[in-house]
Amino acid sequence: MLNFTVGPVQAGQEVLEIGAQQVPYFRTPEFSRVMLENEALVLKFAQAPQGARAVFLTGSGTAAMEAAVMNVFTGADKVLLVNGGGFGQRFHELLGIHEIPFEEIKLAHGKALTAQDLAPYENQGFTAFLVNIHETSTGVHYDGNLIADFCRRNGLLLVVDAISSFLADNCPMEDWGVDVMITGSQKALACPPGISVLMLSQAAQKRIEASRVKSMYFNLKDALKNGERGQTPFTPAVGTLLQIHARLKALEASGGREAETVRVAELARDFRSRLKNLPLDICSESLSNAVTPLATRHCSAYDIFTALKDEYGIWVCPNGGDTKDRIFRVGHIGALTVKDNETLVHALEELAHRGLLK
């Protein structure tokens, strides 16, 4: 199968080789060294500020989203949330569950965030800003500089879900003044799912230190303390952490974050340039390099997903909910090539010729 979803994505050879091996015991100086290197490299690729730390949590991206909300915010906060799709809505629900006061900027499907959207919220007593920088469910990538300026002007703590954007788009943690940045193993890190990562500025660490979080598993203070010696409070997904290590080292050896972002951007550009003769419309005002959301015109998008899977051995990413029959998404992260783009576009053209894609 050829995998154009937004995760799990295709892994490189160095990651698969580790998957084929026995998982080692981990309460050892050897594994601690791996974890300390993981932390240093992931912070380097996040362009994190001095004194930043990273926590590797065994869980999906939502685990890290919930851990961030629980450890970094309190009932004394007033959070401004951008809610432009399924993952913005997830933060909406998390803030509700944990009783964090918030207001939200609700954006219609596919819409970018503009200065006009932000204007009414200037000097309104907010303490923090929460955003999925790439709303993966719709394929809209928000303007990080616009958000960074707003946060600086208003003195806000900035929490960014960059789960599908990290390494695919430029997300400079220090330049943007990001305090918490989240990613996951199965996106551009191109490893199996199971690990989520929280990168934390000193201000975020200070909040975590003061937090009285009502959870053992999501206690980030405990995770940070264990992390000082390259360990975790509980048995982590050791195999996936070793795969992340191999991937980070391979990235480092081949030009680092910059080269990877350029590579993904070029794959996305190439794919989008091939769509001219297809009855498909890009339905995002502001694209991430990670994914191209495509609306069908006169057929079910979910049927195209199924036909590609069953007849062509290709996975694209189906949408859920309201847009299931209207939109599917094509990912550009993981071990994909221009040749893979050609294969997918060829299959789409054939579906169009057959009258199925219309």
| 3 state SS of 56 | strand
**214 sits near a copy of itself (criterion: CB under 8 A):** yes
The token pair at 301 is 């998008």
Cβ atoms of 178 and 131 within 8 Å: the answer is: no
Residues 6+ apart with CB under 8 A from 119: none
Report, in Å, the least distance between residue 25 CB and a copy of itself.
Answer: 4
Token pair 């997830």 in the structure block, residue:
90
Which of 50, 116, 123, 235 binds a copy of itself (CB under 8 A)? It is 235
CB nearer a copy of itself, residue 10 or residue 288: 10
Which of 101, 233, 256, 279 binds a copy of itself (CB under 8 A)? It is 233
Residues 6+ apart with CB under 8 A from 70: 98, 211, 213, 214, 215, 218
Sign of CA dihedral 132, 135, 136, 139: negative
How many C-beta atoms surround the C-beta of residue 303 within 10 A?
16
**62 sits near a copy of itself (criterion: CB under 8 A):** yes
Pick the piece of the chain touching a copy of itself (CB under 8 A) from 44-52, 105-113, 184-192, 337-345: 184-192
Which of 318, 328, 333, 340 binds a copy of itself (CB under 8 A)? It is 318
Residue type, 161: D
Which of 43, 46, 52, 66 binds a copy of itself (CB under 8 A)? It is 66
Report, in Å, the least distance between residue 257 CB and a copy of itself.
Answer: 23
Cα within 13 Å of Cα(301), Cβ side: 24
Pick the piece of the chain touching a copy of itself (CB under 8 A) from 125-133, 187-195, 244-252, 274-282: 187-195
State the DSSP H helix or E strand holding residue 159, giving kind and residue range, or none if neither.
strand 157-161
**28 sits near a copy of itself (criterion: CB under 8 A):** yes
Residue span 319-358 as binding mask against a copy of itself, x where in contact by CB under 8 A, dash where not: -x--------------------------------------
The token pair at 256 is 């680092």
Pick the piece of the chain touching a copy of itself (CB under 8 A) from 2-10, 138-146, 174-182, 202-210: 2-10
**189 sits near a copy of itself (criterion: CB under 8 A):** no
Report H helices in 190-300: 202-210, 220-227, 238-253, 256-273
Token pair 């609306």 in the structure block, residue:
295
Which of 84, 85, 139, 194 binds a copy of itself (CB under 8 A)? It is 194
Report, in Å, the least distance between residue 302 CB and a copy of itself.
Answer: 11
Sign of CA dihedral 265, 268, 271, 272: negative
Which of 106, 146, 203, 217 binds a copy of itself (CB under 8 A)? It is 217
Cβ atoms of 129 and 147 within 8 Å: the answer is: yes
The token pair at 101 is 């006061």
Applying CB under 8 A, the residues found at the interface with a copy of itself are: 1, 3, 5, 7-8, 10-11, 16-17, 19-28, 58-63, 66, 90, 93-94, 97-98, 184, 186, 192-194, 214-218, 233-240, 309, 315, 317-318, 320
